[in-house]
Amino acid sequence: VVLKIIKHYQEEGQGNEVVQGVLLGLVVDDRLEITNCFPFPQHTEDDADFDEVQYQMEMMRSLRHVNIDHLHVGWYQSTYYGSFVTRALLDSQFSYQHAIEESVVLIYDPIKTAQGSLSLKAYRLTPKLMEVCREKDFSPEALKKANIAYENMFEEVPIVIKNSYLINVMLWELEKKSAVADRHELLSLASSNHLGKSLQLLMDRVDEMSQDIVKYNTYLRNVSKQQQQKHQYQQRRQQENIQRQSRGEPPLPEEDINKLFKPPQPPPRMESLLIAGQINTYCQNIKEFNAQNLGKLFMAQALQDYNN
């Protein structure tokens, strides 16, 4: 499955192009075994008649006919510099997890993998977030009541990769054929382009967070202003009723103040949580980036001392 995912990205993923596919397998005791996968075909706007659901059903039906694991257990997606914490991923994983309780999403990072270590992580939505998504109420009050923060939106599932003997033999053959220089390149420091791109993406997300904070502060000011208008209106009515009572006139009829002053609509806060989660991911990437470079410096120095 891992080799298929890597092959899918190498064939169809270019730059920030995201590739996706279906995971197949079965549940054994307390673990989920992912034993097969197939990609979503790329299609353009001209392919308006393409039906992804129908395509998946036909693929799983064909796999069942040849006695291959065909049970749907999730999906996979590549990521571009770790930018996978999005509303699209949240909605997709909710749909999968709502229909198939044990489903996961595998996130493959080709940029980290190119630096010499396989980057593959599995995520699920937490029960708290599943409940909020089921209610479709992303207001500040609902998220506060559910105690949702970006730290408890996703839960990472540990991964254990097991190869067949034939796959192990093939990997050993590939390693023998690889040039020595290629392996030594893993010790070279990562280019500044990677760090620069990560910092640029981080700054973009911080700008988005700043704009979202401005919107929320505007909402709070509007709420405060409306509360003052309500208070002034109630005071005027109270004074007028006192005057009418002194003249022996009946008081003014009761009115629904909420109809006169419709409360402003609060901005949805789910986007802010996702942006905060993405900022945290970028910060972790930069931290790992610096740690890897430091490790490579120590290794290069150790090799130089050994050669001397």
**pLDDT average, residue stretch 115-133:** 88
Q: Name which of 143-147, 181-185, 209-213, 275-279 the model is least confident about.
A: 181-185
21, 38 Cβ separation under 8 angstroms? yes
**pLDDT average, residue stretch 228-239:** 85
299 versus 153: which is more confidently predicted?
153
Q: Give residue-wise pLDDT tens across range 60-110.
A: 788 777 777 778 899 999 998 888 888 889 999 999 999 888 999 999 998
pLDDT at 71: 82
Helix (H, G, I), strand (E, B) or coil at 105: strand
242 versus 48: which is more confidently predicted?
242
Count other Cβ atoms within 10 Å, centred on residue 187.
13
Fill in the DSSP letter of residue 41.
Answer: P
Is 90 exceeded by the pLDDT of residue 160?
Answer: yes
pLDDT at 120: 93
Break the chain into its structural domains and give their ranges.
1-188, 214-259
Is 80 exceeded by the pLDDT of residue 135?
Answer: yes
CA distance 85 to 82: 8
Structural element, H or E, at residue 219: helix 192-246
Determine the distance from the C-alpha atom of residue 31 to the mean position of all C-alpha atoms in its chain, rounded to a whole number: 23
* pTM assigned to the model: 0.74
pLDDT at 184: 53
Q: Does domain 1-188 have CATH number 3.30.470.10?
A: no
- Cα dist. 235→212, 222, 253, 256, 261 in Å? 35, 20, 15, 15, 15
Intra-chain end-to-end CA distance of the chain, in Å:
43
**pLDDT average, residue stretch 137-164:** 87
Residue (of 92, 57, 125, 163) closest to 273 by Cα position: 125
Mean pLDDT is highest, among 27-36, 169-178, 181-190, 251-260, for: 27-36
Is 90 exceeded by the pLDDT of residue 157?
Answer: yes
CA distance 9 to 28: 29
Per-residue tokens: 110? 């080709």
**pLDDT average, residue stretch 129-156:** 86
Mean pLDDT of the chain: 82
63 versus 276: which is more confidently predicted?
276
CA distance 98 to 235: 51
pLDDT at 49: 66
